[in-house]
Amino acid sequence: MYRIGPHSRRSVDYFFTKGVGDYHYGEGHPMKPHRLSITNSLVIGYGLHEHIDNFLCPQPATVSQLETFHDSDYVDFLSKLTPRNVEEMFRLHGDMVNSSEDCPVFTGLFEFCKQYAGASILAARRLGEESCDVAINWTGGLHHAKKRGASGFCYVNDIVLAIQHLLRKYARVLYIDIDIHHGDGVEEAFYNTNRVLTVSFHKYNGEFFPGTGKLDDNGSGLGKHFALNVPLKDGIDDESYVTMFRAVMEPVIATFRPSAIVLQCGADSLGCDRLGAFNLSIKAHGECVRFVKSFHLPLLVLGGGGYTVSNVARCWTYETSVLLGVQLPNQLPSTKYDRYFLNDRRLHPPLVRNVENQNTRQSLEKIRISVREKLRYMDGAPSVQMQVLPPDLTRWLEDEEEREGEGEREREDNPKMLGEWYDPESFAPSGEGKTLETGSASVMYEPVVLPKRGKARKAGGRKKVVEEGEEGTGGSGTPRGKRRVVRRKSGKRKEDEEVDI
């Protein structure tokens, strides 16, 4: 229905909030927002901005936007957290943070969350308005955050917020997650609905963070059969991964018939990642992006994990070029971040480690057959079942209609707000274009858009709370007075521990 003509060039919007790469999770923490600045500098250094239709600097998400998914007391908690009051806040609301080591409190934390979430929300909104065909936000993709809890380096789940927006326009949204960690926060949010199908490819051995995402977790209620998990083992190589990805996604898309796709491109599934254990090259990772793009559906592309920052920047730059249909030379452009690439100045360095591929032909075939089996249950169902929305979603849609109505009125009354989605002030304080530092080149940006069709122009690791003796469900909060097992994201470095709560 919303399929875009396969031969017309797709318009691509790119979202980057100035300053989003300046936050710091703290000494030694694997999550480094700085990778976003490095990525952006390579994108511009390669001149890809000249092929991007609209290069946008979004406004931060508002509190009420965050509350379309997150509980208001949790958003309130996040908004008040500072490095100074952290002990008191954690004493009062410690249940809202899975691990203070994985999810530390740093200066500007809430602003950071609002920035990456604002970008994903705007991206979804523009896709919904059909203002673009592809929307890229490498600053988003924080898939572990829960309705009422921070987890695995993620505080606000921008993906859920974006999908909620897409559901206003699109009947069925397909979420695909190629981060090495299970996309538990997104799966959980839409576990009971058949309007969102989540498909996560990840490492699973029952121990690796977040400990969920086994083959048989398939959704529940109306959402039964609308969550798919592809659990993989260490060392998976390019050929096995890409073959599996295509073998799963082709029938999934044919059966579910999504009207829009959200692709989380966590780069910790690359070889040589600081926390990951797969053996993928950047080309193979990008091949998944190319394959999804080939279906010519409205597409939101997000970042996610990725802890060897130079490779994250290479990967997302390459994937930007894939989405734009532009070929890049292997030699990296010179930028202000050259020091990150002293060892290898190529876009595609060898990333294969000497790690044995523990995925056998038989184990992969078992997964593929299992997914095919599950799809038989889904076949033909969504169009009928969609008429009954789950209670939560129904209420959310009603609230959203109301909020939207108010927003429209406000905008009519106050013409200044018309620019809210493009944040003209952040790029052009006095009506002039503002120079954005780009490394090798200084690029002058007009405040709103580049011309259409512009040719010339995880600290020690995340933890997961699992009730003793049972499989974790990814839910936030554990009843007090029980003993819980805490799992960290980089569990390979630290033993899981038990704590009294």
Is 177 among the residues that bind Zn ion (CB under 5 A)?
A: no
CA–CA gap between residue 206 and residue 88 (Å, rounded): 34
| 484 bridge partner residues | 467, 499
> Greatest CA span in the chain, whole angstroms?
64
How many residues touch Zn ion (CB under 5 A)? 5
Reference 123, options 148, 105, 141; nearest CA is 141
Residue 95 is assigned to a ligand binding site: no
d(CA 197, CA 199): 7
Nearer to Zn ion, 45 or 305 (CB): 305
Q: How many CB atoms sit inside 10 A of residue 59's CB?
A: 21
Structure tokens at 3: 């399929």
Which stretch, 104-112, 299-307, 435-443, 475-483, contacts Zn ion (CB under 5 A)? 299-307
Q: How far is the CB of 181 from Zn ion (least distance, A)?
A: 4
| Residue labelled with tokens 């994937």 | 319
Distances from the Cα of 484 to the Cα of 104, 122, 459, 470, 501, angstroms: 20, 38, 20, 10, 7
Q: Which stretch binds Zn ion (CB under 5 A): 227-235, 302-310, 349-357, 394-402?
A: 302-310
When the beta carbons of 128 and 210 are compared against Zn ion, the nearer one is 210
Binding mask 247-276 for Zn ion (x = CB under 5 A): -------------------x-x--------
CA angle 170, 13, 6 (to 5 degrees): 65
Tell me if 70 contacts Zn ion by CB under 5 A: no
C-alpha count within 13 angstroms, C-beta hemisphere, residue 146 = 21
As measured in angstroms, the least distance from the Cβ of 152 to Zn ion is 7
User: Which region among 21-29, 112-120, 125-133, 173-181 touches Zn ion (by CB under 5 A)?
Assistant: 173-181
- Note the helical H segments in 339-449: 361-378, 382-385, 391-413, 424-427
Report the residue from 49, 125, 181, 463 that binds Zn ion according to the rule CB under 5 A: 181
Name every residue whose Cβ is closer than 8 Å to that of residue 51 and which is 6 or more positions away in sequence.
12, 324, 325, 326, 454
Q: Do the beta carbons of residue 482 and residue 501 sit within 8 Å? A: yes
Which tokens go with 333? Answer: 């452009």
| Tally of CB atoms within 10 A around 129 | 10
Nearer to Zn ion, 13 or 273 (CB): 273
Smallest gap from Cβ 464 to Zn ion, in A, equals 12
CB nearer to Zn ion: pick between 305 and 333: 305
Minimum Å gap between C-beta 386 and Zn ion is 31
13 is a site residue for Zn ion (CB under 5 A):
no
Asked if 102 is part of the footprint of Zn ion (rule: CB under 5 A), the reply reads no
One residue of 67, 158, 177, 179 binding Zn ion per CB under 5 A? 179
From the candidates 29, 51, 93, 144, give the one annotated as an active-site residue: 144
Residue number of the CB atom closest to Zn ion: 305
Residue 179 assigned to a binding site: yes
Distance in Å, CB of 151 to Zn ion, minimum = 11
Contact region with Zn ion (CB under 5 A), list: 154-162, 254-262, 297-305, 358-366: 297-305
Q: Residue 222 is encoded by which pair of tokens?
A: 């109306």
Annotated binding-site residue? 49: no
User: Which of 102/133 has CB closer to Zn ion?
Assistant: 102
The least CB distance from residue 266 to Zn ion, in Å, is 5
Q: Output the smallest distance, CB 180 to Zn ion, in A.
A: 5
DSSP conformation letters of 250-314: HHHHHHH--SEEEEE--GGGBTT-SS----B-HHHHHHHHHHHHTT---EEEE-----SHHHHHH
Q: How many CB atoms lie within 10 A of CB 394?
A: 11
Q: Which is nearer to Zn ion, 43 or 178 (CB)?
A: 178
> Does the annotation count 34 as an active-site position?
no
- CA-CA distance, 428 to 379, in Å (whole number)? 51
Using CB under 5 A, which residues numbered 415 to 474 contact Zn ion? none
Smallest separation (angstroms) from Zn ion to the CB of 273: 9
**Cα–Cα distance, 352 to 428 (Å, whole number):** 44
What is the SS3 assignment for 429?
A: coil
Query: Binders of Zn ion among 303-322, rule CB under 5 A?
Result: 305
Compute the distance between CA of residue 317 and CA of residue 345 in angstroms, rounded to an integer.
14
Residue 307 annotated as binding site: yes
46 or 201: whose CB is closer to Zn ion?
201
Binding status of residue 30 toward Zn ion by CB under 5 A: no
- Asked if residue 211 belongs to a known ligand binding site, the reply is no
Say if residue 152 carries a ligand binding annotation.
yes
Tell me the window of 44-52, 171-179, 221-229, 333-341 that interacts with Zn ion (CB under 5 A). 171-179
The Cα 81–Cα 90 span in angstroms is: 9
Of 82-90, 178-186, 256-264, 415-423, which part binds Zn ion (CB under 5 A)?
A: 178-186
* Chain centre to alpha carbon of residue 244: 21
Cβ proximity to Zn ion, 58 vs 306, nearer residue? 306
- The Cα–Cα gap between 49 and 47 comes to 5
Name the binding residues for a divalent metal cation: 179, 181, 268
Name the binding residues: 102, 152, 179, 181, 268, 307
Name the binding residues for substrate: 102, 152, 307
Q: Please give the positions annotated as active site.
A: 144
Binding residues vs Zn ion (CB under 5 A):
179, 181, 266, 268, 305
